[in-house]
Each structure stands twice: as C-alpha cells, then as structure tokens.
Amino acid sequence: MSRDVFSALSGSLAAQRRMEVVANNVANVSTTGFQAGRVSFESAGEGEALGEGYTVTASIRPIRRNGPIEQTGVPTHVALEGPGYFGVKSGEETLLTRDGAFHVSPDGILSNRNGLPVLGEGGSIIIPPGEGVRITKDGRIVASESGEIDRILRLDGTMEHAGGNLWRPTAPLVEVETTMASGALEGSSVDPMAAMVELVQASRAFEMLQKAMQTSDEMDSKINQTGGA
C-alpha cells in the first residue's frame, strides 16, 4: 500500500470531522444562545511530501458572533449584548454558555436549562425562599424583599466545545463587563446560508479525498498485477 493513501485518509477524516461540526451548526440554527463551532487543523508527520505529512484535528472553537436578542418577559432570562459567556458549574469544573434561559430550581439555586448552577461572585446564586428576582443590565441579582444578593459573572477566554451549547475553558478565564438585556434571550449565531455553503464545501472535499484513496488503491493493484515493486 502506497504511503500517499495515509495522507489522503487523514485528510478524509479531517473533512468528515468538519462536516460533523458544520452539520451540528445547521441543526442548531434555532437553539438559544448557540454559537457556531469552527474546526481548526494541524499538520503532522515527518515532512511535507506526499505520504509524509498528515492532517489532524486541533480543536473546535466558537465563532464569536452574537445572535439576535428576543424579548421573553421572563425575569430570570438574560442575554449578553457583547462579548463573554455565563459561567455554570458542572461537578468540579466551570463551563461557559451564551444561553441565559435561567430559572430558580426547587432548592432555590439560579440554574440554566440543564440544571447547572449559574455562577455569581459568591459562587452558586441562592435565591431567598418565596422571593421573586430581577436581573439588572450590569448583572446584579435583586430579590423582591432581600434586595441585591449577588452578581452574575461574565467570563471570557480560550475554550473548546464541550457539547451542546457549552464550552470548556482551556486557559484561565477573565471577567468582562458586558451589558445584559434582562427578560430576553439571545438566539443562535448560526448564519443558515453560510453554514449550508460550508457544508457543501466540506462534503465535496470529503468526496475528493475518498476518490484520491480509491485511485491510489487502483494504482497499487495495477502495479501488483504487472509485477511492479
């Protein structure tokens, strides 16, 4: 088997991964707070000649583009009007999201739609029993009787996809002072037309590399049939 087939195989796998990510973007065109992902690749191997270099997936990072803001009138819903992410606690790690569809859980914790606690300056945000809350433009949580009880963190940094509309930090996070729209949610940042074009491009690249592998295999068969080395 020729070494060039391994280069084509690595490219084929990379193109397949790109198709998966773009298809996921298309599927989430209506998902609240969803940020489209983009795949980055790296070269590997001993050289740049055919059969010596390979393509590997480096990471899947968000395309930092804000989605449209839609009013919901729900006091615990909030949308970011600039850069940054909400922090939520998943076990021992902090994950990031743009989805501000928060609610007060039965145990009084301000949580996201997956039940993960939203992070404030004091950690998880505890709402006093029986009190309503509102969220101000600067992230302050104000209870109907107790007054200000915490402030929602807005964080940013480098990250990788953690599934759904969650992102995992890959470096220390910094706090940003992004204004919030209360009683509103941010829509998906996916551009449907651009995503469909990219999906077609990724599909064609995959088909081309599959054809290259097939051609290499056919050439090997012919060489073997003629007794070539």
SS3 letters across the chain: CCCHHHHHHHHHHHHHHHHHHHHHHHHCCCCCCCCCEEEEEEEEECCCCCCCEEEEEEEEEECCCCCCEEECCCCCEEEECCCCEEEEEECCEEEEECCCECEECCCCEEECCCCCEEEECCEECECCCCCCEEECCCCEEEECCCEEEEEECEEECCEEECCCCCEEECCCCEECCCCEEECEEECCCCCHHHHHHHHHHHHHHHHHHHHHHHHHHHHHHHHHHCCCC
**Which pLDDT does position 45 carry in this prediction?**
60
State which residues form the domain around 209.
4-64+189-225
- What pLDDT is recorded for position 192? 87
Q: Are residues 105 and 203 in the same domain?
A: no
201 and 133 in a common domain: no
Q: Estimate the crossing angle of helix 192-225 against helix 4-27, to 10 degrees.
A: 160
Report the alpha-carbon distance of residue 53 to residue 42 in Å, rounded: 10
What's residue 1's pLDDT? 46
Q: Quote the pLDDT of residue 87.
A: 97
Same domain, 60 and 105: no
Length of the chain: 229
126 and 99 share one domain: yes
The verdict on 74 and 176 lying in the same domain is: yes
For 44, the token pair is 């590997």
The number of folded domains in the chain is 2
* 163 and 89 in a common domain: yes
Would you state the structure tokens that stand for residue 49, as one six-digit string?
A: 């000649």
pLDDT values of the chain reduced to their tens digit, one per residue, 229 residues: 445 556 666 767 777 888 888 888 999 999 999 998 888 766 666 655 555 556 666 578 888 889 999 999 999 999 999 999 999 999 999 999 999 999 999 999 999 999 999 999 999 999 999 999 999 999 999 999 999 999 999 999 999 889 888 999 999 999 999 999 999 999 999 998 888 888 888 778 777 766 766 665 666 566 666 654 4
Distance CA 217, CA 225 (A): 12
Do 78 and 114 belong together in one domain? yes
pTM over 0.85: no
Q: Does residue 212 sit in the same domain as residue 154? A: no
* 92 and 137 share one domain: yes
**What is the model's pLDDT at position 63?**
86
Q: Are residues 105 and 42 in the same domain?
A: no
- Is the same domain home to 93 and 154? yes
For residues 112 and 136, membership in a common domain is answered with: yes
Q: What is the CA radius of gyration of the chain?
A: 24
